[in-house]
Amino acid sequence: MTRFRIGEAAELLGVSADTVRRWVDAGRLTAERDDHGHRVIDGVDLAAFARAQAADPDAGAEFSSARNRLRGIVVDVRKDTVMAQVDIQAGPFRVVSLMSREAVDELDLRVGSVAVAVIKSTTVVVERAAPPAARGRAGG
């Protein structure tokens, strides 16, 4: 059974450890104490909580088959005569999109704009992270 300490759960949810503690104290998220007295959250419970916390899709999403939508802020726009590169910071994730300069101009994308990266792909690579205990032992 995978269990996460408060800080690990916070990192996965993209919030502070204090926020996770408040959710546990309020009964919104279930935690138990481990053998050392630290609060831990069962992986299945954390996954269910994360899914329930997921934001509703942006307006217009019901007209799209894409389900992977990351709302963020435009942090860089590079344009040439035909193409453009737009960098969006969506929480801890950097999303880079290559599109036509015309599309960037029509959407009026510029640094500081709020944008939604809509990802539709037939190939998604999934990697499994090392268990928390193994990460602490790496390199020594």
Q: What percent of the chain has pLDDT over 70?
A: 83
Residues 35-77 have pLDDT tens digits of 999 999 999 999 888 888 765 555 555 667 677 888 888 999 9
C-alpha distance from residue 78 to each of 32, 70, 94, 98, 140 (Å): 49, 20, 15, 10, 42
Range in 72-81, 102-111, 130-139 the model is least confident about: 130-139
Mean pLDDT value across residues 10-27:
91
Mean pLDDT value across residues 116-124:
82
CA angle 36, 46, 94 (to 5 degrees): 110
